Chains A and B, each alone.
Chain A
Amino acid sequence: MALLAPRGRARRPGEPHRLFWAALAAPGILWLAVLFIVPFYVILAIAGGYVNQIFGYPVAVYNPLHWSSANFTAAWHDMFGVGATVLPIAGRTLSYVAIASLISLVIAYPAAYFVARFAGRRKGLFLVLLIAPFWVSYMMRMLAWIGLLQTDGYVDKALTSVLGIQPINWLGGLSITVILGLVYGYIPYLILVLYAGLDRIDPALIEAGRDLGLGRIRTFVRVTLPLSRQPILTGMLITVLPMLGDYFTNQLLSGAAGTRMIGNVIDDQLNAPGQQGQGAVFSLLVLLVLVAPMIYYVVATNRTSRSAS
């Protein structure tokens, strides 16, 4: 037990033992193990498994020594082989997500900035309003848009009566509908994270900037913006990750061949008899793509906290 106590510092009487703090982490670790690591291994086992040749269902192989590479090579062909179909979809997914995150940031940053800096006594009200979308399930919010965007829906009515333009077939498979759907779906997360970060910026630093002769804009660029780098990074991560794997925003608001994203490809494979193994490989691929920004995030956070201390 004494080994666990930090060196050079004796435990004071009445202070909880370190094991106590470790025990607090146990539920979280258990959660992670049961709901992430085990399913992750099952995905691996299916990716390396085979298909039952009588009934056609996938069989997972749990011993890595017996894993087959068939699904991996098939996935490779889909990505890079002759007439590969998945690569363009992966590219489309990345561009949709990039555009959607940029739009989200442009909308979310001023909103969060306003609440954090200028909402004053009404901060609570604005926060509640920002959280309000979470009260309605993501799916319901998307379904509501189907009603609004459909032919003869309110959006078209408003556009034709106000701007006098031709009705647009929003649900006919337009990229813009999908991108705006992604923005709409995930922007509350971004605003909340940005708000939390911007709210923590010490007003004294901004005042100092002003006192030292910087104008409004230069204070923002030289002081506020650098200080909000970390919240922006966190917020982007929190929105980009689910956007990359999203499949039903697209399914609901378009469903067309021309807007498919990688999540749709995987969804289809997981539900096609005999193709689940390949779906598992693509799931792992997406995971790998997601891990890269994750690592960058961890490194960047460490650097910031080290330089801060």
Chain B
Amino acid sequence: MHPREGWRPDGTSPVARLFGESDQQPRPNAQADISRRGFLRRGAGAGLLLGAGATGASSLLAACSSASSGSAGPTTIPLPRPHNRVTWPIFADNKPIKSGLQPEQGATLEIYNWVSYINEAVIKNFCKKYNCNYHITTFQNIDEMLAKLRSGQVNFDIVFPTIDALGELVYGKMIRPINHSYVPNIHQAWSDFTDPFYDGQWQYTVPYTIYTTGMAWRKDHVPENPYAMANPWAMPWQAKYRDKVAILDDAREGISLGLMKNGIFNLNTTNPSRISAAGSQLVDLAHLTNVHFDNNDYTEVPGGQIWIHHAWSGDIASAASYMQKGVNVDQVGYWFPPDGNGPVGNDLITVLRGAQNPVLAHLFQNYFLDFHNAVENYSYTGYMQPITGITPQLLVQQKLLPPTLMSTTVLPSYFRRGVMELQLPVSANTLWEQAWLQAKNA
């Protein structure tokens, strides 16, 4: 579901090195890159199965303990869709903070985020400006984040959720509504975000990064150009590239790929036959190409281990840092439908209800909506923010992005036309997960 899923806590910057060294040098230490990312999607640890079982189980234990205590919760929650705007309720015991408060002095801002998903230089500037310290805690996936917040044993000020977690965050009263008077920079963001369908009137959220899911390929090994193909979503289904094809290791992204190959662009479908047909496509793909399931698109395509990789835009934006020796970065391509009809997603910044420093937290939201700060943040993460003025041309001109990878940026038109993978009813989600596991076990 998310480009940062599974990043390890010792992560380092992919893009910071961009253009920092010549393409002729060997690529940066591949071991460190890979250890930072991906392969153990959810938690390092012993190779013992029992160990894995116990780890999983203990987080589940945390989850269930709150299930019994939180029995007063809702029986259903609304599912936001582009044609079904949701304006979340504001509860009497969880109101926005008052206007005109002074920021907390000498405080330590507690930030809860994905791994390697924020430029600390920007936070340092923020703290200089407001005389505070900061501390970052990381999570590897949304379930881990929610489990920790459910437990209530946390003191974070800021959290970076995905859209599909909003229902639980709001109804669980984990996040606090925003007092807009502290966040004037919202007007630097694309106008979409003052009234997004997933949070009418932006009561709880401001946008963070925005990204697309598309197809990355090595032009020197794969002569076919997806921009000229009738159905580029079918690009991985080619037996001649056996062992050189990979798709993202993620249930929603994977099944969505199968759906799109079948010409279906409702990526929140609950139709069992469509879901299972998409799963069958992936089973075929596995038999045809011995497909890899991984999220190492950012190293494997530049490194040449994989030639066609279902990929996230911000990952491929970092390609130059990981190029194979002697191969120029313009050999890596990233395709996203030019008409914008493909998967897009955006992340959020929210203030926690239990925040000790709510004023600073609001100011932090405001700070990251500023053009200059967002550009500096991009220089580290490779994931752009939907801020007016951050355009592909600007990023290329500032040498933050190779011109051949301008397709990795997200245009407002992509965002408006694009399709989002949003929260599903639990029963439908089970169908998605089962179809995905079937495909992986094919």
Please give the residue numbers on chain A whose beta carbons come within 8 Å of chain B beta carbons, in ascending order. 35-36, 39-40, 42-43, 46, 49, 51-60, 85-86, 89, 138-140, 143-144, 146-147, 150-152, 169, 171-173, 185, 241-242, 244-249, 251-252, 254-258, 260, 263-276, 279-280, 283, 286-287
Q: Are B437 and A266 in contact (CB under 8 A)?
A: no
A143 and B70 CA atoms in complex are apart in Å by: 43
Query: Which of B's residues lie within 8 Å of A, judged by CB?
Result: 30-31, 34-35, 39-42, 44, 47-50, 52-54, 56-58, 60-61, 63-64, 67, 73-77, 141, 143, 146-147, 167-168, 242-244, 246, 249, 251, 286-287, 290-294, 303-305, 324-325, 426-427, 429-430, 433-434, 436-438, 440-442
Are A252 and B39 interface neighbours, CB within 8 A? yes
The residue from A53, A60, A270 contacting B64, defined by CB atoms under 8 A apart: A60
- A272 to B439 alpha-carbon distance, docked (Å): 14
Residues of B within 8 A of A39 (CB): 50, 53-54, 57-58
- Partner among B56, B141, B304 whose Cβ is within 8 Å of the Cβ of A151: B304
Contact A270 B56 (CB under 8 A): yes
Q: Name the distance in Å between A219's Cβ and chain B's nearest Cβ.
A: 38
A172 CA to B294 CA, complexed, in Å = 12
Known A-B contacts A46-B57, A173-B290; the reply to A150 vs B49 at CB < 8 A is no
Q: Other than A54-B74, A56-B430, A251-B294, give 5 A-B pairs with Cβ distance below 8 A.
A: A39-B53, A40-B54, A42-B61, A150-B303, A275-B434
Q: List the 7 closest A-B pairs by CB distance, nearest first.
A: A245-B49, A172-B243, A257-B286, A85-B441, A39-B54, A270-B56, A283-B53
B67, A59: Cβ atoms under 8 Å? yes
Bound-complex Cα distance A192 to B442 (A) = 38
Chain B CB count within 10 A is highest, among A271, A274, A280, for A271
Complex Cα spacing A39 to B141, Å = 22
- Across the interface, do B52 and A89 meet the contact criterion of CB distance under 8 Å? no
Check B53 against A143 for contact (C-beta < 8 Å).
no
Q: Find out whether the CB atom of A143 lies under 8 angstroms from the CB atom of B31.
A: yes
B30, B44, B47, B442: the one contacting A257 at CB < 8 Å is: B442
Known: A273-B429, A274-B426. A247 touches B251 (CB 8 A): no
Q: Which of B64, B146, B427 has the most CB of A within 10 A?
A: B64
* Chain A residues whose CB sits within 8 angstroms of the CB of B54 once the complex forms: 35, 39-40, 42-43
Shortest beta-carbon distance, A268 to chain B, in Å? 6
Are B426's CB and A267's CB within 8 A? no
Contact of A143 among B35, B47, B304 (CB under 8 A): B35
Which residues on the B side are within 8 Å of A252 (C-beta)? Answer: 34, 39
Residues of chain A within 8 A of B293, CB atoms compared: 255-257
Bound-state Cα–Cα, A48 to B364, Å? 44
* CB pairs A–B below 8 angstroms (19 shown): A53-B427, A54-B73, A55-B146, A56-B426, A57-B147, A59-B67, A85-B438, A144-B31, A151-B304, A152-B304, A251-B294, A254-B292, A263-B52, A265-B440, A269-B437, A270-B52, A271-B42, A272-B436, A280-B57
CB closest chain-B residue, reference A246: B47
Contact A256 B291 (CB under 8 A): yes
Cβ–Cβ < 8 Å partners of B440 in chain A: 257, 260, 264-265, 268
A36 to B168, CA, bound (A): 32
CB-defined contacts of A173 to chain B, threshold 8 Å: 243, 290, 292
- CB neighbours of A53 from chain B (8 A): 426-427
Contact status A60-B30, CB under 8 Å: no
| In the complex, chain B residues whose CB is within 8 Å of the CB of A257 | 286-287, 290-293, 440, 442
Closest A residue, CB atoms, query B76: A54
**CA distance in complex: A146, B47 (Å):** 17
CB-CB under 8 A from B427, the residues of chain A are: 53
Q: Are A273 and B143 in contact (CB under 8 A)?
A: yes
Please tell me if the beta carbons of A54 and B77 are within 8 angstroms of each other in the complex: yes
Q: Which of B147, B168, B292 contacts A256 (CB 8 A)?
A: B292
Is there contact, CB below 8 Å, between A54 and B63?
Answer: no
B25 → chain A closest CB, angstroms = 15
User: Are A152's CB and B324's CB within 8 A?
Assistant: yes
Whether A138 pairs with B243 at a CB distance below 8 angstroms is no
A56: B residues at CB distance < 8 A: 426, 429-430
The one of A46, A52, A268 that contacts B67, using a Cβ cutoff of 8 Å: A52
> Roughly how many angstroms separate A277 CA and B140 CA in the complex, as a whole number?
21
Q: Distance (Å) between the CB of A168 and the closest chain B CB? A: 10
Interfacial chain B residues near A273, Cβ < 8 Å: 143, 429, 433
Note all chain B residues with C-beta closer than 8 A to A146. 30-31, 34
Kindly state the separation between the CA atoms of A40 and B325 in the bound complex, as whole angstroms.
49
Neighbouring A residues of B249 by C-beta, 8 Å = 255
CB closest residue in chain B, given A53: B426
Of all chain A residues, the one with the shortest Cβ separation from B8 is A139
Tell me whether B34 and A271 are in contact (CB under 8 A). Answer: no
Q: Are B47 and A172 in contact (CB under 8 A)?
A: no
